[in-house]
Each structure stands twice: as structure tokens, then as C-alpha cells.
Amino acid sequence: MRKEVKIQSGGYAMPVLIIAAYDENQKVELMNAAWGMSCGSDQIALFISSGHKTTQTILKSKVFSVSIADEANIVPADFVGIATGNSMPDKFAKSGLTAVPGESGAPVIEDFPVCYECELLEEVNTDNIHCIVGKVVRVTADEKVLGENGQVDPEKLNLLIFNQFSMNYYKMGELAGIGWKEGKPLMD
């Protein structure tokens, strides 16, 4: 029997993304974002509030990075989602993370295994949505998460998943099936 539970969006698996940009003094501003996803083969949409220091920094710098957070970095990943650069000027230093400028000019946070460097394409601001859309111009990954084919092996990522039913972090589990193949028997 199905029972009704509390209305809550995002009870599904969401990513733990670390969004970062340099301000005019090359200081890193960064935040945690679960409301983000691919919206094209080389585009990422992030639903981030306009008041966040990171958002304001991205709107000025026009370049930013999106890193995939892994289990090893759960402490700084959560911290940058609690603290705000609006009232903590040394937020990045306190996180203990390290960054280098990527080819795009966006900060590449070295601690996280995969980093998408993005150019700001547009800001969408309606009654219900505040979103920025980035074009991915470069992706780099720590070689320890690459498979034999030179591409990112998801099973090596230990990536974090955020879930809004509990507001807790989980980690990605094991392979459950093959995309575009499991449903094929029903195609006949």
C-alpha cells in the first residue's frame, strides 16, 4: 500500500557540486550546490541563489568551475555549503582546499577528482527560477580516477550523492545495469 509523505522536492539522487570562481583579486569564492545538472552535451545548469557570494562572483568573472565532490573531501564540501563568503572573507583558506587557474581562467580545485571549467552562457531569472548556464570548455580529472581507456571511471570516483528526504550525503554504489540496453527486451 502506498502512503503519502511530506512534500519534498529532490528525494532523488542529486550531485554534490562545488562551484568556484575567482574574484577581481584572484581570491576563490566557492559553494556547494546540489541543484545542478547537465542540460546539454556540453552545458551545465546550476540553480543557485543570486545572493550567494559565489553567484555574484560568477556573474562578474563570467567563468567558473564545477567540481564533483568525493567522499574523501566531504568535510570541506559540506563546509563551503554552510559558510558564506558574504560574512567570511577567508572562507576558501579555511576550507583547506587548493586551487590553480585553469586554461579558461576559472579556478580548478585540485582536491576534487573531476573539474568542469565553464564559460557563463546565460543567467535565467524568472518568478520561479534563478539559474546560470555554463558551457563546458575543459574537463580535467585526477589520473587515479581514469580507467584503462583514459576516460573517467565512475566506480573510481567515490562520488557523493545528496538526498533531500534526509538532507544527508550518500556515496555512489555499484553498477546496476547498462544504459540503453536493460530496456531492450521490451522493445520487441
**Residues near ligand FMN (CB under 6 A):** 29, 31-35, 47-49, 52-54, 78, 81-86, 91, 162
When the beta carbons of 48 and 120 are compared against ligand FMN, the nearer one is 48
**Least Cβ distance, residue 183 to ligand FMN (angstroms):** 30
Separation of first and last alpha carbons in the chain: 32
Query: Please, which residues have CB within 8 angstroms of residue 28's CB and are 6 or more apart in sequence?
Result: 20, 21, 22, 92, 99, 107, 109
When the beta carbons of 33 and 145 are compared against ligand FMN, the nearer one is 33
When the beta carbons of 53 and 109 are compared against ligand FMN, the nearer one is 53
Beta bridge partner(s), residue 146: 152
**Least Cβ distance, residue 144 to ligand FMN (angstroms):** 25
- Cα–Cα distance between 161 and 180 in angstroms, integer? 23
**Least Cβ distance, residue 1 to ligand FMN (angstroms):** 32
**Least Cβ distance, residue 184 to ligand FMN (angstroms):** 35
Beta bridge partner(s), residue 20: 30, 65
**Least Cβ distance, residue 167 to ligand FMN (angstroms):** 8
When the beta carbons of 93 and 183 are compared against ligand FMN, the nearer one is 93
Strands (E) across 10-153 are located at 14-15, 17-22, 28-33, 36-40, 43-46, 63-68, 99-101, 107-109, 114-125, 130-141
In the structure grid, which three cell numbers stand for residue 113, read together? Answer: 577528482
Chain-centre distance of CA 155, in angstroms? 18
**Least Cβ distance, residue 9 to ligand FMN (angstroms):** 11
When the beta carbons of 84 and 140 are compared against ligand FMN, the nearer one is 84
At 36, the amino acid letter reads G
When the beta carbons of 52 and 113 are compared against ligand FMN, the nearer one is 52
Q: What is the number of the residue whose Cβ is closest to ligand FMN?
A: 81
